[in-house]
Structure 1
Amino acid sequence: MAEPSALPQLEDLPPEYVAHDEGRMIYSCMAAMTALATSVVVLRLWARKEKSAAIQVDDWLIIASLPFLWVLMTCGVLSVVRGGVGKHTIVNLIVDPDAMNRGAKYFFVSQFMYGTVIALIKSSILALYLHIFPTQFMKKSCFVLGGLVFAWWLMAMIVPFVQCKPMSKSWSPFEEGTCIDTCAFLVGNAVPNIVTDAAILALPAHQISKLQLRTMQKAAITGIFLLGGIVIIASCIRLKVVYALWESDLNMDFTVQIKDSWLWTVTEPAVGVLCACLPTLRPLVVAIMGTMKRYSTKRSTGESNAIITAGGRTSKPASKPRFSRGQVSEPIGSFERLDDIESAEGGPAGLVLWPKGFCQDRKTTVVGRDSHSALSDEIALGAIHVRNEMTLSEDRLSR
């Protein structure tokens, strides 16, 4: 980018050209996507609490990604507010000649934030896979992909420091010096990112195919993981936008052209956080569906139990008669939970429950068997967890 030799007066430019500013739209979109990603992580933690599940490594990694996403979004907002992004370049050079240098500094910092947040998101997904599928195949695959992600992150951290000589030329485009081929760097950064995304996305398919589930259940679980393909689409769009930016004539209108690059640089990791959290949100869906079902049942029960009298009034039906102890017409009644599980006959593995308030002519025994495995910490993915098995038996006693 060459420094313009002469600039027109602001009064010589059309008023609508001077007033052009897409800044509000840019930082509103970036803030909205960041807020959405943060909200999804909060819901993920709520789902863990709802299932009484411990916070795992994958949760900590996705939590750790949020501060970097927030800083990335802040760089984008500052590039608009103080860097002139969204306004015409000529207007920026006339009104605030240092604006473009400030915007370039924010872009320089954003490269480190972008690389780190992407690496943390991918590491979180791989850790989730290891927790759900603790098989040798998955362990080896996750460690290989984890190594590739680390190598990609290391490259993303080193290259910005050496891409220009002197380094200050990275944020001072008019300064004398040389820089590496920016387009080659962008492609070299984005292509491995997309390839590892695709590999991580396809990894669970092999394990899901081995599960002893109905075809529809396998398809549903696979669909949850395949929703992560959205982030691949976002990565491809960002590559296209950024590559088109640096291939174009930057002397034309750089601060307007770079707006889409900023948008997708923030949107891609935000979508990545969303996709990484989707498989863990099943308890939220179950809770919402359960609440809706209870509300619907309560309404329908209330309406069906109401009795319309001759005067148009509604009244509740008479309650069922209550029976006293020992008064048994049929040995059927409600069960009462024991206060002390250890004092029950048979101990915790064999509980004897008696119908409340009836003669002892029948006994019910509940026998539990715990299943311990690497999957005992339930993950809300439906069918990919182990539950305790209970056997219910009922015997009539001789009088």
Structure 2
Amino acid sequence: MGIAISVFVSFLTFFAIYSLIVTGQRSQIFNFASLAQVAMGRFGYHMLNFMLFVQSAGSVISYFILVGDTIPVLLGFYIPQFPILADRQLVTILISLFIIFPLNLFRSIGALAKWSAFSVLLLPIMIFSVLFRAPVYSKDHTAPLMTVGKDPFAAMGIMSFAFVCSQVAFQNYLSQKNQTTSSWKISSVLSTCMSWTISMSFAAIGYLSFGQDVNSNVFSNFPEDDHIINIGRLALGLSMVLTVPMAFYPARDAVQKTIGFETKDCQPNALQHYGVTAILFLIFLVLGVQIHSLGKVYSVVGGIASSFLAYIIPGSAYIAVFHPQWFFLFKNYYHGAAPPNNDESSSIMGSGTEVNLVKVPVNPTWWLDIAAIVLVIFGFLIMTYTAISAFVI
């Protein structure tokens, strides 16, 4: 069931990122936020910023959880004479304040390019340590293959969190030498297949080795005295320390734009920049220290924010550009304007901002029409289910 769901989610991911670029070519809008405004007016623009914040915040919190799952374990095992170093909360707070926090003070994430590259190089160490050691523990666990997990819908949210990349689709597309739909289709298929293969191979090894006892953080399944796994734990801990800023910067940018510190005409001053950075970092740190369930974070953030970013916006934007008549019931998004059409020089109005739609030789196809509808419906279903499960039940 898990593999079947992952295949379905990966197909939706492909349709989402492909339809985004097709929509951008038709409208000549190559900006995710602008397309959100095309789809839902000014509400869509602000909702997108909010969901980007939730997505980034969830990532930061999950990284803090992983720091707490790894480094205190290593310190407690290898330096037992100082038991205080095994205190999860204390070690996470100290590492966060004295190592991670300074990395978040820069205004541009480009200043961390070398650290980011080093973080990526740690990934093979984590993967190979698990692939090498996990099968050793398989005899102690049962892993039924033909079964259904406890919460398949939550799994869809988690996988959405893992696969979501719509917010960077345009940057990747514009970086291509050949910016055609056929070239982007090939890129989308290859990247989706590679992501699915790596993720599911890793997941399959974890499940086949630990079965129904598998933890959301696979490293937590291994004993503390497994030295090879501890190399992977160290790589994971260091990687998370260096990866926090990659998710923190977009969250901070979303907040600064929302409260008006950052606009097209001005940038936050020093007090605003460092003030938002400190307050936001402390909030994320408190949540990361208090929350221990990595799977819960992935489920809630994936089900709410990732579904909106990965499915609802791409599907809605496609419909708004290629079939604007379908949005007639939502004309209030455009402040009472008539539904836009696909004629040359047509435009969509939203909160005083005009978005010009320039007709280019890109036509809708029946399979993208169906995909767009499925994306929107599936996104809303997962969002609704996650919200009810997390805040009502």
Q: TM-score, normalised by structure 1?
A: 0.26
| Larger of the two Rg values belongs to structure | 1
Q: TM-score, normalised by structure 2?
A: 0.26
Structure 1 or 2: more strand by fraction: 1
Structure 1 or 2: more helix by fraction: 2
